[in-house]
A and B are shown apart, each in its own frame.
Chain A
Amino acid sequence: MSEFTPQRFRQQADDALHDEVLRSALRRATGLFGDRRKAAIAEVPEWEALRERGRVIKENVLFHLDRYLEQFESNARRQGIQVHWARDAKEACDLIVDLAASAGARTVVKSKSMTTEEVHLNAALERAEIDPVETDLGEWIIQLAGEVPSHIIVPAIHKTKAQIAELFTEKVGLAPTDDEKKLTECARGILRSCFVTADVGISGANFCIAETGSILLVENEGNIRMTTSLPRVHIALAGIEKVIPTIDDLAVFLRLLPRSGTGQHLTTYQSLISGPRRTGDEEGPEEVHIVLLDNGRSAMLREHVTRQSLACIRCGACLNACPVYQQIGGHAYGSVYPGPIGAVITPQLQGAKKASQLPYASSLCGACREVCPVKIDIPELLLHLRSCIADKSPVPGAPNDIPSRPWPERAGFRVWAWWWSGPKRYALSSWIAGAVMRRPWLRWLLPVGGWTASRDLRTPATRSFRALWRDSLAEERDNDA
């Protein structure tokens, strides 16, 4: 398995562009989800008001995040949930490994959680000789194949049914089949026995509700319900940004999230969990733990522009809408978080040096902002990060590790900025450019090789707009006179 990293974005994007199987799968998936989303939001006449409400709730909660986290913590504790804090990925992994080990776990069942992927929890568990089993069908396929997810809603979108069937034959001995029902049935059987024997279940959390101290999880398969109700111990890992104030707010997000993600009016299951079993008579785990993870998030709170990144509810709509993602898919980004939201979160979490190419993986068309259920201004964030990278100013959350651009480039841009800031100088340069470009045999003088490799350079008009404007003003004056 080749490692995908954000540093190798260009190469990975190029590989993806040459992968016809991947591209046709992406066309289908992004097209389908895009269409379903449109149909689902058309049912809601107040969609725009709903988005605005979602945005306002998130903006408020993030502006007072410390308060809401403290409220969540004390309510969760009162309900019998054990709350833990982790500053970074390592601390989160150590904590969870310790909890699993003291529960005597040999196998843990996991339901899909991007946050556990962000901290590389599976590797940490394996080092401690605890076997993590992914139970979301798509995630399980990916785990069997030793790969990483390529879409946040459909992790195995890059694999065909034939490839999955082959994988099942090789890894779990299923007789060759081309029936997705048989494949699913096979996974159901194997994972059932894991659920029953596992000592610990690990999940993420879609929302942590401050006023009740509960967590809410959404899903379609039922594996989250299994993970959170069968094993003796349940551990949930949540980023600190997952907290929302009230149960009323939950209604807003439950109307926004599934419609934006899969185009459903509601996913099949929501589990609202408010603690472990209290009496011997009840069902459910004896212990419930929540680990609240910072890992670079707190620094994003500092400025309004970056704080927005924390409003994301991970619906995946911006991926499906993004013309770049539609072509290259998730692997190219080399990050747990792909697509437009990944391009803004990854540099803030991993450092701008590692992920300096990602904010450029966008044409700034604004489709992501259009579809985002909480109205995150992703293009603004992309521009902000680009300017941080160009100025070598620190990206919040990440270490200040951006290498300077070479000095001739910086000097060149400074001269250019000065030159174009005067109207005479600007006019002179556009006159020169026009004169050169109208003479094809002189075009080689212009340093635009990269630009013209795949498209023609337009020939400028003989007279500039400014000149025409001047003339028309003069003409008007003459007429008035």
Chain B
Amino acid sequence: MTREGARAHVLGAIKEHLAVAHAGESPPEASQVDSCGVGRPVLPDDVQGRAVRFKSVLESVGGYVTIVPDRIQAAIALQHIVTTRGIRRLAISDDNLATDLAASLSEVEIVGADSRDALLESDGGLSGAQWGIAETGSLVLSSDNERHRLVSLLPTVHVALLRATRILGGLDEALRRVAGGDPEALPRAVTFVTGPSRTADIELTLVVGVHGPKELHVIVLQEELA
């Protein structure tokens, strides 16, 4: 049978069996209530409160979060991470803020995220983040905004820069924001990151850094950028 035949066959079978169901059952009541917020915890409704919650949730799963007031402090925090973690080669995404801050770093080689080989040999990766989620302590990285997929995955340490005003409340709000009111035009890849890569596959003992980064650092910038 042709491939097109398989499609017709599967859809035909589904329709045939459902016809029996439709004849004998009344349709399940479609819930009209918009309840994607069900299960959302009570969340702070101010920027500072959300940043604090974001930090505490992400740190509970092994992430490191530094909240800084401005760019200067962000650069200092970044330099501190680079120095204390012994990062010698830092790959950066094409995010503007990341590019700017990386320029101020010393004693580290900066490489672009466009070469896979360079990425594989980098011990640090610096990206932006389009949103944060206070409910879950997650970063949301979108391929429409920056080339984030490998820079946040291949190096041993991932550092992300997040603006405090970009921290949303619930998971549902973040998903809506990603869809951006136009679900038919989603970015190619949206990645949600909540902590370092982890496994418990050997005797249920937690080990971090199995495939992805061993450490995740987030620098939360309170200053509203121009």
Question: Residues of A at under 8 Å CB distance from B?
Answer: 25, 28-29, 32, 43-44, 46-47, 49-50, 53, 56, 59-60, 63-66, 69-70, 75, 78-79, 84-87, 91, 95, 135-138, 141, 154-157, 160-161, 164, 180-181, 183-184, 187-188, 191-192, 196, 211-214, 220-223, 225-226, 228-230, 240, 246-252, 254-256, 264-278, 281-284, 292, 294, 298-304, 307
Cβ–Cβ contact B175 & A248, under 8 A: yes
User: Smallest Cβ distance from A247 to chain B, in angstroms?
Assistant: 5
Cβ–Cβ contact A154 & B200, under 8 A: yes
Q: Name which residue of chain A comes closest to B205, CB basis.
A: A180
Q: Name which residue of chain A comes closest to B190, CB basis.
A: A272
A34 to B220, CA, bound (A): 35
A137 to B20, CA, bound (A): 44
Residues of chain A within 8 A (CB-CB) of B196 are 268
Knowing A282-B147, A302-B20, the reply to whether A49 touches B39 (Cβ < 8 A) is yes
Residues of chain B within 8 A (CB-CB) of A60 are 28, 30-31
B45 sits at the interface (CB 8 A): no
Please indicate which of the listed interface residues A28, A138, A255 has the most CB atoms of chain B within 10 Å of its own CB: A255
A and B contact pairs by CB, cutoff 8 A, 12 listed:
A53-B39, A85-B11, A137-B199, A157-B204, A221-B211, A229-B153, A230-B150, A247-B176, A251-B170, A265-B136, A283-B189, A294-B10
B36 sits at the interface (CB 8 A): yes
Residues of chain B within 8 A (CB-CB) of A256 are 39
Cβ–Cβ contact A276 & B179, under 8 A: no
Residues of chain B within 8 A (CB-CB) of A157 are 204
Cβ–Cβ contact B14 & A301, under 8 A: yes
Cβ–Cβ contact B143 & A252, under 8 A: no
Residues of chain A within 8 A (CB-CB) of B35 are 49, 53, 252
Cβ–Cβ contact B17 & A44, under 8 A: no
Please indicate which of the listed interface residues A79, A221, A256, A294 has the most CB atoms of chain B within 10 Å of its own CB: A221
A31 to B116, CA, bound (A): 42
For the complex with contacts A43-B41, A302-B20, 11 further pairs of A-B residues with Cβ separation under 8 Å are: A65-B14, A69-B14, A137-B201, A180-B202, A180-B207, A221-B211, A251-B172, A283-B143, A284-B143, A284-B189, A303-B21
Q: Name which residue of chain A comes closest to B20, CB basis.
A: A302
9 A-B pairs closest in CB distance = A222-B212, A138-B201, A251-B172, A222-B211, A248-B36, A50-B39, A270-B192, A298-B13, A222-B197
Residues of chain B within 8 A (CB-CB) of A271 are 189-192
Q: Name which residue of chain B comes closest to A267, CB basis.
A: B194
Q: Is the interface of B mostly helix, strand, loop or mixed?
A: loop
Cβ–Cβ contact B203 & A95, under 8 A: no
Cβ–Cβ contact B202 & A161, under 8 A: yes
Question: Residues of B at under 8 Å CB distance from A?
Answer: 1, 3, 6-7, 9-11, 13-15, 17-18, 20-22, 25, 27-31, 34-41, 57, 61, 116, 120, 136, 138, 143, 147, 149-150, 153, 170-172, 175-176, 178-179, 183-184, 186-205, 207, 209-213
Knowing A138-B201, A274-B188, the reply to whether A212 touches B183 (Cβ < 8 A) is yes
Set B38, B120, B186, B203: member contacting A49, Cβ < 8 A: B38
Knowing A53-B38, A137-B199, the reply to whether A91 touches B6 (Cβ < 8 A) is yes
Residues of chain A within 8 A (CB-CB) of B6 are 84-87, 91
A191 to B154, CA, bound (A): 12
Cβ–Cβ contact B198 & A274, under 8 A: no
Cβ–Cβ contact B17 & A249, under 8 A: no
Q: Name which residue of chain B comes closest to A57, CB basis.
A: B31
Residues of chain B within 8 A (CB-CB) of A84 are 3, 6
User: Smallest Cβ distance from A166 to chain B, in angstroms?
Assistant: 13
User: Smallest Cβ distance from B14 to chain A, in angstroms?
Assistant: 5
Residues of chain A within 8 A (CB-CB) of B1 are 87
Q: Name which residue of chain A comes closest to B186, CB basis.
A: A274
A269 to B199, CA, bound (A): 12
Cβ–Cβ contact B188 & A299, under 8 A: no
Residues of chain B within 8 A (CB-CB) of A161 are 202-203, 205
Residues of chain B within 8 A (CB-CB) of A223 are 210-211
Cβ–Cβ contact A50 & B176, under 8 A: no
Residues of chain B within 8 A (CB-CB) of A160 are 203
Cβ–Cβ contact B184 & A226, under 8 A: no
Q: Name which residue of chain B comes closest to A44, CB basis.
A: B39
Set A269, A278, A302: member contacting B191, Cβ < 8 A: A269
Cβ–Cβ contact A136 & B11, under 8 A: no
Cβ–Cβ contact B31 & A53, under 8 A: yes
Cβ–Cβ contact A136 & B186, under 8 A: no
Cβ–Cβ contact A188 & B209, under 8 A: yes
Residues of chain A within 8 A (CB-CB) of B172 are 248, 251
Set A56, A155, A274: member contacting B201, Cβ < 8 A: A155
Please indicate which of the listed interface residues A191, A299, A301 has the most CB atoms of chain B within 10 Å of its own CB: A301
A137 to B205, CA, bound (A): 13
Residues of chain A within 8 A (CB-CB) of B11 are 66, 69-70, 85
User: Smallest Cβ distance from A12 to chain B, in angstroms?
Assistant: 23
Residues of chain B within 8 A (CB-CB) of A184 are 199, 202, 207, 209-210
User: Smallest Cβ distance from A195 to chain B, in angstroms?
Assistant: 8
Knowing A212-B186, A299-B17, A302-B17, the reply to whether A188 touches B210 (Cβ < 8 A) is yes
Cβ–Cβ contact B38 & A268, under 8 A: no
Cβ–Cβ contact B138 & A266, under 8 A: yes
Knowing A85-B3, A180-B203, A298-B14, the reply to whether A248 touches B176 (Cβ < 8 A) is yes
Residues of chain A within 8 A (CB-CB) of B171 are 251, 254-255, 266
A161 to B205, CA, bound (A): 10
User: Smallest Cβ distance from B3 to chain A, in angstroms?
Assistant: 7
Residues of chain B within 8 A (CB-CB) of A214 are 186
Residues of chain B within 8 A (CB-CB) of A191 are 211
Set A66, A213, A222, A249: member contacting B14, Cβ < 8 A: A66
Residues of chain A within 8 A (CB-CB) of B198 are 220-221, 268
Residues of chain B within 8 A (CB-CB) of A211 are 183-184
A162 to B145, CA, bound (A): 46
Cβ–Cβ contact A270 & B39, under 8 A: no
A25 to B200, CA, bound (A): 13
